[in-house]
Amino acid sequence: TQLLEQSPQFLSIQEGENLTVYCNSSSVFSSLQWYRQEPGEGPVLLVTVVTGGEVKKLKRLTFQFGDARKDSSLHITAAQPGDTGLYLCAVTQGGSEKLVFGKGTKLTVNP
């Protein structure tokens, strides 16, 4: 059983469309991070959320942490080909500093 479930697993859309990807669990987390991994590169941190209900915006990306700190969503407005990549969520639990990653959502934005 995976600690984190990311959905959808794959997503292919046209440039200009909006999309939302999800990171869900039945466990409560101390903090949650979103990373983006472009083809041939390592993951790069996009955001860290720590407070239930928190919403953070990064240009066209909007991140939300669930009120109960068990889930998160990432919404992209007007997607661009440069948004193509693997979107990974990662969490810490309790007093642990160890990051646990989900399998990711592979996003392809077609021109």
Q: What tokens does 65 get?
A: 């942490």
Dihedral sign for Cα atoms in the order 96, 99, 103, 108: positive
The interface with other proteins within residues 29-88 (CB under 8 A) comprises 30-31, 33, 35, 40-45, 48, 50, 88
Name the minimum Å distance from CB 104 to other proteins: 8
Q: Which is nearer to other proteins, 43 or 66 (CB)?
A: 43
Q: Which is nearer to other proteins, 77 or 96 (CB)?
A: 96
One of 7, 20, 70, 101 touching other proteins (CB under 8 A): 101
Name the minimum Å distance from CB 78 to other proteins: 27
Name the minimum Å distance from CB 43 to other proteins: 5
One of 56, 70, 73, 100 touching other proteins (CB under 8 A): 100
Amino acid at position 40, single letter: G
Single out the residue of 82, 83, 87, 111 nearest to residue 101, CA to CA.
Answer: 87
What φ, ψ does residue 13 adopt, rounded to 5°?
-135, 170
* DSSP per position, 32-81: EEEEEE-TTS--EEEEEE-STT-EEEETTEEEEE-TTSSEEEEEESS--G
Contacts with other proteins by CB under 8 A lie at 2, 4, 30-31, 33, 35, 40-45, 48, 50, 88, 90, 92-104
